[in-house]
């Protein structure tokens, strides 16, 4: 029982990174129609930035959770204005070429600057060690990651369902052309939405900093699993992205515990099963099957 | 209020509209009759600004809007009631109503919408596409009216609906017309067109081949139905 709960919390913490990143990916895809293959690199940049801020300015995780998303938002805005905006009218192949190319550039730049060995990261003392809950001893940091991510997901969900911005994002995701014909300037939302998606990938990176080896390559494997998450949840579905993120985290954690060599394979087995039963993903809309 | 002059439209190399001239005045209901593939929907998409491969001129309220993007045309007062009704599944009934911005002082309040469409009032928190086909059509029309649009572009509003619903749509169009709103109605249902409209354009292979008044339309209904292939 104790072990099971520990694996579950570990899985939910790992799933938090997937959920947050997939959330950003889903919103970007919904509004821009761009599948952002650079999302893993943005996640890596978030973690690296947190490590650099800690090392140079002694900014702790608390500060990084605030500062890094802001920096990443600005970075996302620049990337969107410089590159991504030109993709919107083009064949999706160009979107792959650009965002994948961007990944290679960012990864190599980080390698040049910070090398290939991992950067160190220590979380604040308050988040170190273990905490005993109802007789089960759990790592404090993993619990924090899970709760923090859930809070962010709930916040995004509230914005999406209760505000005019959310209404516009949902409408332009579902029927972009109609939204324009109804007087919504969809183009105006493209840049902030991309920035937001990048910011939240960066936030996932910050959260993972004390938990993962911080290297230029940390986003590569992450991105592969992230796409499994998106396919499982249903491309463009925000709820699907979050649910599938946590689900994949759990599969990964239990896989590592009971069948370490198959842990990653299990994720793709899950993906294959989901596609067999529901081709559009767990929460995907039917149109996506066509 | 709407003046279309020598409008040509293309899909790549294929020309879909040839020198189309259409005029809709204030408080006038004009139908566009033609068989499937005649170019009716293409014409409406050109008017609202979703199809941009065009030449010629679209003037709206005395202003040349040919180069304006769709959202600015909507804000100038064009309301589109799409042929598939265009109701958002991810938005509630009320959100569907509130999504488009109000564009004039003619804009309806939600209260007025719910009084005119009581079937929507009870379902305001329901998902847009959980409504029946007829209710979705009411929602689409109500959404356009709520913005205060002064020109309604309605693409086959009576299609696939029960006679009692069609009768309500006819009433709504008459009421809207009485307030000075212009309506361009795409219809294959000649009988329905004859009961609501002042003038009729017959569109065939991308050309306006005839302009008829309602008396002509009724007299030649049999011939037109044959032309429409119904």
Domains of chain B, by residue range, sit at 2-228
Mean pLDDT computed over B75-95: 94
| CATH number assigned to the domain covering B2-228 | 3.40.50.300
Q: What distance in Å separates the CA atoms of residue B56 and residue A169, rounded to the nearest whole number?
A: 34
How much is the pLDDT for B230? 59
Mean pLDDT computed over A92-114: 92
- Percentage above 70 pLDDT, chain A: 98
Q: What distance in Å separates the CA atoms of residue A58 and residue A71, rounded to the nearest whole number?
A: 17
Mean pLDDT computed over B136-151: 95
Q: Please indicate whether, in this complex, the C-beta atoms of B91 and A167 are within 8 angstroms of each other.
A: yes
How much is the pLDDT for B224? 79
Mean pLDDT computed over A2-25: 92
Average pLDDT along chain B: 92
How much is the pLDDT for B80? 95
How much is the pLDDT for B154? 95
Residue B16: band (very low, low, confident or very high) from pLDDT cuts 50, 70, 90:
very high
How much is the pLDDT for A290? 32
pLDDT at A168 over 90: yes
Residue A4: band (very low, low, confident or very high) from pLDDT cuts 50, 70, 90:
confident
Positive or negative torsion for Cα A175, A181, A184, A190: positive
Q: Please indicate whether, in this complex, the C-beta atoms of A186 and B71 are within 8 angstroms of each other.
A: yes
A162 touches chain B (CB under 8 A): no
- For residue B95, the chain A residues in CB contact (below 8 A) are 167
How much is the pLDDT for A264? 86
Q: Which two tokens stand for residue A246?
A: 């946590």
pLDDT at A199 over 50: yes
- For residue A168, the chain B residues in CB contact (below 8 A) are 99
- For residue A167, the chain B residues in CB contact (below 8 A) are 91, 95, 98-99
Q: How many of the other CB atoms lie within 10 Å of CB of A35?
A: 17
pLDDT at B223 over 90: no
- Least confident range from A278-287, B55-64, B173-182: namely A278-287
Q: Please indicate whether, in this complex, the C-beta atoms of A183 and B147 are within 8 angstroms of each other.
A: yes
CA-based nearest residue to A40, from A250, A243, A227, A265: A227
How much is the pLDDT for B114? 95
To the nearest whole Å, the CA of A87 is away from the closest chain B CA by 19
Q: Which of A168, A171, A182 sits opposite B74 (nearest CB)?
A: A182
To the nearest whole Å, the CA of A118 is away from the closest chain B CA by 43
Average pLDDT along chain A: 91
How much is the pLDDT for A237? 86
Contact assessment for residue B117 and residue B97, using Cβ atoms and an 8 Å cutoff: no
How much is the pLDDT for B228? 76
How much is the pLDDT for A149? 96
How much is the pLDDT for A263? 84
Q: Which two tokens stand for residue A129?
A: 């060690």
How much is the pLDDT for A116? 81
A177 touches chain B (CB under 8 A): yes
A239 touches chain B (CB under 8 A): no
Q: Please indicate whether, in this complex, the C-beta atoms of B143 and A181 are within 8 angstroms of each other.
A: no
How much is the pLDDT for B50? 94
User: Where are the strands (E) in chain B, listed by range?
Assistant: 2-11, 14-24, 29-33, 54-60, 63-64, 78-81, 151-155, 182-187, 199-204, 207-213
Residue A286: band (very low, low, confident or very high) from pLDDT cuts 50, 70, 90:
low
pLDDT at A118 over 60: yes
Nearest CA in chain A to B146: A182
pLDDT at A288 over 70: no
Mean pLDDT computed over B176-194: 90
pLDDT at B210 over 50: yes
Mean pLDDT computed over A9-30: 93
Residue A64: band (very low, low, confident or very high) from pLDDT cuts 50, 70, 90:
very high
Please report, in angstroms and rounded to a whole number, the separation of the first and last CA atoms in chain A.
44
A175 touches chain B (CB under 8 A): yes
């Amino acid at each position: 029982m104790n072990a099971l709960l520990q694996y579950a919390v570990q899985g939910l913490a790992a799933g938090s990174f997937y959920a947050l990143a997939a959330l950003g990916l889903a919103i970007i895809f919904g509004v821009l129609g761009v599948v952002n293959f650079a999302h893993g690199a943005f996640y890596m940049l978030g973690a690296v930035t947190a490590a650099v801020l800690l090392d140079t300015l002694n900014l702790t995780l608390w500060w990084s959770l605030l500062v890094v998303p802001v920096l990443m938002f600005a970075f996302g805005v620049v990337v969107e204005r410089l590159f991504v905006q030109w993709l919107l009218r083009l064949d999706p192949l160009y979107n792959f070429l650009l965002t994948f190319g961007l990944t290679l550039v960012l990864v190599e730049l980080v390698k040049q600057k910070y090398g290939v060995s991992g950067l160190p990261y220590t979380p604040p003392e308050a988040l170190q060690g273990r905490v005993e809950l109802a007789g089960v001893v759990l790592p404090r940091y993993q619990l924090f990651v899970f709760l923090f991510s859930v809070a962010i997901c709930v916040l995004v969900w509230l914005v999406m369902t209760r505000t005019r911005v959310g209404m516009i994002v949902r409408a332009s995701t579902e029927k972009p052309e109609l939204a324009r014909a109804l007087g919504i300037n969809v183009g105006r939302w493209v840049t902030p939405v991309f920035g937001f998606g990048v910011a939240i990938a960066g936030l996932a990176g910050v959260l993972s900093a004390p938990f993962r080896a911080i290297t230029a390559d940390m986003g590569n494997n992450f991105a592969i699993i992230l796409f499994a998450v998106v396919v499982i949840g249903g491309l463009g579905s925000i709820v699907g992205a979050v649910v599938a993120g946590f689900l994949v985290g759990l599969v990964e954690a239990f896989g590592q515990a009971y069948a370490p060599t198959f842990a990653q394979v299990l994720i793709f087995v899950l993906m294959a099963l989901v596609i067999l039963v529901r081709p559009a993903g767990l929460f995907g809309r039917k149109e996506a099957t066509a | 209020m709407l003046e279309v002059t020598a409008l040509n439209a293309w899909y790549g190399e294929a020309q879909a509209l040839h020198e189309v001239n259409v005029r809709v005045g204030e408080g006038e209901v004009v139908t566009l009759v033609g068989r499937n593939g005649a170019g009716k929907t293409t014409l409406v998409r050109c008017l609202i600004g979703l199809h941009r491969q065009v030449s010629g001129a679209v003037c709206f309220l005395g202003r040349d809007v040919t180069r304006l993007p769709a959202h600015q045309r909507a804000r100038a007062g064009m309301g589109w009631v799409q042929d598939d009704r265009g109701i958002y599944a991810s938005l509630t009934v009320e959100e569907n109503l509130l999504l488009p911005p109000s564009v004039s002082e003619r804009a309806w309040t939600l209260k007025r919408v719910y009084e005119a469409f009581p079937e929507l009032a009870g379902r305001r928190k329901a998902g847009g596409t959980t409504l029946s086909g007829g209710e979705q059509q009411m929602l689409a029309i109500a959404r356009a009216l709520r913005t205060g649009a002064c020109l309604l572009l309605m693409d086959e509003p009576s299609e696939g609906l029960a006679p009692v619903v069609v009768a309500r749509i006819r009433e709504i169009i008459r009421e809207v017309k009485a307030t000075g709103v212009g309506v361009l109605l795409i219809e294959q249902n000649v009988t329905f067109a004859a009961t609501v409209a002042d003038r009729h354009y017959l569109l065939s292979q991308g050309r306006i081949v005839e302009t008829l008044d309602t008396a002509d339309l009724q007299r030649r209904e049999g011939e037109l139905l044959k032309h429409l292939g119904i």
